[in-house]
Amino acid sequence: MKNKLVEYRKSKGLSQEKLALQLGVSRQTIISIEKGKYDPSLQLAFLLAEVFHVSIEELFLYENQKGE
């Protein structure tokens, strides 16, 4: 799933490490989400959206895998 995490994180002046600490996850988790290699749990997605004061839909871009 594509996302705008890097854009929002940098606009807040947060490093990957600081964001990870704030959310209680590893820096590797943040890196993986930013690269689109890992889809966060629903709970983590809500927490990320809350940190940046945006909706989940603004932060994560849904792409239908079946091309429908």
Cα(24)–Cα(48) distance, integer angstroms? 11
pLDDT values of the chain reduced to their tens digit, one per residue, 68 residues: 899 999 999 999 999 999 999 999 999 999 999 999 999 999 999 999 999 999 999 999 987 766 54
Under a CB-based contact definition with an 8 Å cutoff, are residues 20 and 34 in contact?
Answer: no
- Using CA atoms of 66, 28, 34, 56 in order, give the dihedral in degrees to the nearest 10: 80
Cα(19)–Cα(6) distance, integer angstroms? 11
Cα(45)–Cα(34) distance, integer angstroms? 12
pLDDT of residue 66: 62
Q: What is the pTM of this model?
A: 0.88
